[in-house]
Chains A and B, each alone.
Chain A
Amino acid sequence: AQSVTQLDSQVPVFEEAPVELRCNYSSSVSVYLFWYVQYPNQGLQLLLKYLSGSTLVESINGFEAEFNKSQTSFHLRKPSVHISDTAEYFCAVNTGGFKTIFGAGTRLFVKA
């Protein structure tokens, strides 16, 4: 069975600093990988996804994630964060079918 581990429950960072949110998955078959973001009092929104092809995927607001099959990781990075990036970020995996498994989430706090 597949599983997702987000290694950090909270990540505090200063504005304009770089950040990395870590995600590892467990699966014996090919995977599709997702990062969702949840802003306060809202539902989750898709940030980016890896389905196939290039292992580096990017979002429209400067986030990127790299699929590393050998390390079974899909870490999320941003070179310079803004206050508005404060949110909870969920890594998710799907190995086929309709069921997507979500990680426990990482709360990103961006401080001025």
Chain B
Amino acid sequence: DAGVIQSPRHEVTEMGQEVTLRCKPISGHNSLFWYRQTMMRGLELLIYFNNNVPIDDSGMPEDRFSAKMPNASFSTLKIQPSEPRDSAVYFCASSLGTSGSMDEQFFGPGTRLTVL
């Protein structure tokens, strides 16, 4: 398996622009997670899906952030409009989702977002 795939790997945009980050989870995995990593705040869980349904989005910082999972093999995280403080590395992770708390999470390589 190719693992969790994220695109783009790097994104540089200007303040106010819309940014869309993409994730393809490992085939057969039922849970998907979006995280944000910064030096100041560490690794933060933004949202997670189980069987394509958002279960907990309490970590989404503002209404400017939205996430979708239209099918089992694709998810997007959108920021509109983007701001410089959104600059971070965004990770997507997936897990089998059958054992819940015992499942290992498999992380993608991340998207490094820079908002100028």
State in angstroms the CA–CA spacing of A45 and B56 once bound together: 23
Give the residues from 88 to 102 in chain A that come closer than 8 angstroms, CB to CB, to chain B.
Answer: 90, 94-100, 102
State in angstroms the CA–CA spacing of A94 and B109 once bound together: 23
Residues A43 and B43 in contact in the complex (CB < 8 Å), given A97-B101, A98-B97, A98-B101: no
State in angstroms the CA–CA spacing of A90 and B91 once bound together: 15
State in angstroms the CA–CA spacing of A45 and B105 once bound together: 8
State in angstroms the CA–CA spacing of A105 and B64 once bound together: 28
State in angstroms the CA–CA spacing of A104 and B102 once bound together: 21
Chain A residue nearest to B43 (CB atoms) is: A102
State in angstroms the CA–CA spacing of A97 and B98 once bound together: 10
Residues A102 and B42 in contact in the complex (CB < 8 Å), given A44-B91, A94-B101: yes
Chain B residue nearest to A51 (CB atoms) is: B102
A42 at the interface (CB under 8 A from B): yes
State in angstroms the CA–CA spacing of A105 and B89 once bound together: 15
- Offer 29 A-B interface pairs, CB within 8 angstroms, sorted by A: A32-B102, A42-B109, A43-B93, A43-B107, A43-B108, A43-B109, A43-B110, A44-B91, A44-B107, A45-B107, A46-B105, A90-B43, A94-B101, A98-B48, A98-B50, A98-B55, A98-B56, A98-B95, A98-B101, A99-B45, A99-B48, A100-B101, A100-B105, A102-B43, A102-B45, A103-B42, A104-B42, A105-B42, A105-B43
